[in-house]
Structure 1
């Protein structure tokens, strides 16, 4: 599935007023964004929210980035995915994540990430209408999960990573598999304001063990993870400044081997950051 060079990752496209979401998606389609990514959040009707975006757009792909395998039954996802692909022209990419031990425990399951994800993929393969390998991705961060994604899905959609991570992931994936990193962006040139906005969003993730491990593997220290993130960490995983500065970060990911970069506007202070999305649309080509 061809996603284009850049896409938008947006919480608002799941949570805002449905009419506003429809209007925004139609405009983003016209602006040429390759894909609209929506998060799994705490569950909910991810297929219904995906369909709203598919219905409002003509060419833009819709990607789930990502649903928790503990909150959505694989057989139901396969059936819903098949229906939406049939109705909207195979424009839906299903993103899968293993979440964390607490989420697995809340579902009454033991947490064995590789085994759990493999079993979920098995169910997608064995469904009455299977989800094709090329229409699903994984939120892989570690090397073993990345290897699984390379063999059993279209590729990976990693969260909170640097261009250097993209280079290492591409080396491991080899040619072919999709590499579509998430990239938080702040359209603000004042360093203090930009970093504060970044910490407001990302700070909570730094306390989550699986994300902390990923950042430590990327070369950051425990000190970098403290107090909402050091300036070094924030500047490395968040692109801030004007459109040119953000474009430079996107280019760095592409130069490192990324196929597609999903931009998440944070710190906009608005319920639907259309102004920023419009400004950033120059990065779609």
Structure 2
């Protein structure tokens, strides 16, 4: 494992934050030593300008969509945006692509069929547009998509997974591909309130078959998915506790083979607010910045 990067995944950056608020938060994360900022690109037909705004307003930190939906964007347009970002800020924009979920994609009438084949076709389009494989990464859960990530991108950006999945992903990707899982956390040492906060997040994701089917491969069952998740499942997916305890939970992913962990803070952070204090505390433990 060549890298050990600490990144940020927060909906705030594409939520209700103004450009100035988003750039201000990004500058602080850069000063704290975080490597990259991840956030959803939404379901529009292009890459939101916010990614370029953060690049323009900072000097080092990377940005990456987690993810651009392959159902709502075209390879030529996405490649054009990514090439412009690369020319202006070499090595700082990483294009995250994903097939998302049927229930979300079909809200606007889009036909969600054969997502793997759709991804292959989308990657063909990026190749034809001349966009390099080393500047794109795939949201991958199952074995086939992980193999596609290995063969046709820089690596994989799994979401909502336990450390056991990180180990499987590393084995599938090999040693030379980037593995950057998202891991949501709760900075709260009280087990009752910490798990309650975590379940506000897990409850929605446990209704999505892509995630529950993936978890079944690691031995989780229907009883673990009920009521926002069993204590055992919540604890496996959402590290909670003090900053030091959360860091210990994140360490499981690094030991399993992650190069980069994209941390999403759940308490105090959402599309409307940025949990600056939490990222300061985590930086002290994970990066050594005070």
Instruction: Work out the CA distance in 2 between the residues paired with 1:46 and 1:3.
Output: 27
Partner of 2:192: 192
Cα shift at 1:179: 0.8
TM-score normalised per structure 2: 0.92
* Correspondences of 1:187-226 after superposition (within 5 Å): 187-226=187-226
Partner of 1:176: 176
Instruction: Work out the CA distance in 1 between the residues paired with 2:143 and 2:216.
Output: 13
Cα shift at 1:41: 3.0
- Does the Cα contact within 8 Å between 1:3 and 1:34 map onto a contact in 2? no
Cα shift at 1:30: 1.1
Find out whether 1:148 has 2:151 as its counterpart. no
Cα shift at 1:243: 0.9
Cα shift at 1:110: 4.8
Q: 1:115 aligns with which of 104, 110, 117?
A: 117
Task: Specify the SS of the correspondent of 1:278.
Answer: helix
Task: For residues 167-204 of structure 1, give each alpha carbon's deviation from its aligned partner in whole angstroms, at most 9, with x where no partner exists.
Answer: 11111221111111110000000011111111112211
Partner of 1:279: 281
Task: Specify the SS of the correspondent of 2:121.
Answer: helix
Find out whether 1:125 has 2:127 as its counterpart. yes
- Does the Cα contact within 8 Å between 2:41 and 2:48 map onto a contact in 1? no
Find out whether 1:246 has 2:249 as its counterpart. no
Instruction: Work out the CA distance in 2 between the residues paired with 1:216 and 1:115.
Output: 23
Q: Aligned-residue CA RMSD in angstroms?
A: 1.7
* Correspondences of 1:25-104 after superposition (within 5 Å): 25-43=26-44, 46-104=47-105
Change (3 A) 1:44 1:11: farther
Task: For residues 48-103 of structure 1, give each alpha carbon's deviation from its aligned partner in whole angstroms, at most 9, with x where no partner exists.
Answer: 01011111221111111111111122110000110111112231001111112345
Instruction: Work out the CA distance in 2 between the residues paired with 1:110 and 1:10.
Output: 26
Change (3 A) 1:197 1:93: same
Instruction: Work out the CA distance in 2 between the residues paired with 1:284 and 1:13.
Output: 22
Cα shift at 1:218: 2.0
- Does the Cα contact within 8 Å between 1:6 and 1:263 map onto a contact in 2? yes
TM-score normalised per structure 1: 0.94
- Which is further off, 218-227 or 109-118? 109-118
Higher relative contact order (CA 8 A, sep 6+): 2
Partner of 2:263: 263
